[in-house]
Amino acid sequence: MQDKLVNALLLASLSFPACGGGGGDDGGDGAGADAGTATDARQDLSPDSGGEVDPDAGPTETSLNSTLTSDCGATLQGRAIVNFNGNLGISFTEDSGAFTFLGSIQFELPSGFTGSVNNPEGWDGQSERHVIAASNTSFTTHGNHCWFDTSPSNPGSVTISDYRPNEGIVKATFNGLQLKSCVGASVCTINGSIETTGQGVFD
């Protein structure tokens, strides 16, 4: 059990690439689950805990709520792991067995950032990054940083109300945000909202 949880945590801490992603190009056409989720953390991954997983740990006061959907085969609801490792990543997995990876959403923003995130990102190569990215079951990464020489036809929007990555906290609302594959031409559209109040494993 503990080994499976550790493996799931590794998935949550995957860094998205600046110019590419693993897996194939096609993100698929599956959508995320329709019903939102509200779950309690059962692991403490705060700095004071050393990031160690305790399978016998009881619920904490942290929580995760997600109504996010995608059209690229990333399921962004259900059992989740919230982890900060240079960026804030939320990975979603099956809730039993091998805890198969179902999808993830990642944020790389300045700590304390609020407001709308540009799409495309338009990074100048020197300033802090403002990246929103999602990965599907084939580990294809789509992001606002991967438009390169093109632009989205309907960029949509994402608004950040709270962002404290070191604490595992984000509150974001997506409205048709179009993210570009980092390795091909496919586009992933994200809708809904997500709110996390700390790092941990959320059943």
pLDDT (tens digit, 9 = 90+) per residue, 33-80?
A: 334 555 555 444 444 444 454 555 554 478 999 999 999 999 999 999
Q: Can you give the pTM of this predicted structure?
A: 0.76
Q: What is the pLDDT of residue 61?
A: 75
Residue 86 belongs to domain spanning: 2-202
The count of domains in the chain is 1
Element counts in the chain: helices (H) and strands (E): 1, 13
Q: What is the pLDDT of residue 41?
A: 52
H, E, C per residue of 55-118: CCCCCCCCEEEECCEECCCCCCCCCEEEEECCCEEEEEECCCCCCCEEEEEEEECCCCCCEECC
Q: Closest Cα partner for 184 from 31, 28, 30?
A: 28
Q: How far apart are CA 123 and CA 118, in angstroms?
A: 10
pLDDT in tens, 67-120: 999 999 999 999 999 999 999 999 999 999 999 999 999 999 999 999 999 999
Residue identified by tokens 């570009």 is 180
Q: How far apart are CA 79 and CA 131, in angstroms?
A: 24
A 10 A CB-CB count for 128 gives: 11
- The dihedral sign for the CA sequence 30, 3, 106, 201: positive
Decide if pLDDT at 169 tops 90. Answer: yes
- The dihedral sign for the CA sequence 183, 88, 169, 128: negative
Residue identified by tokens 């995320």 is 32
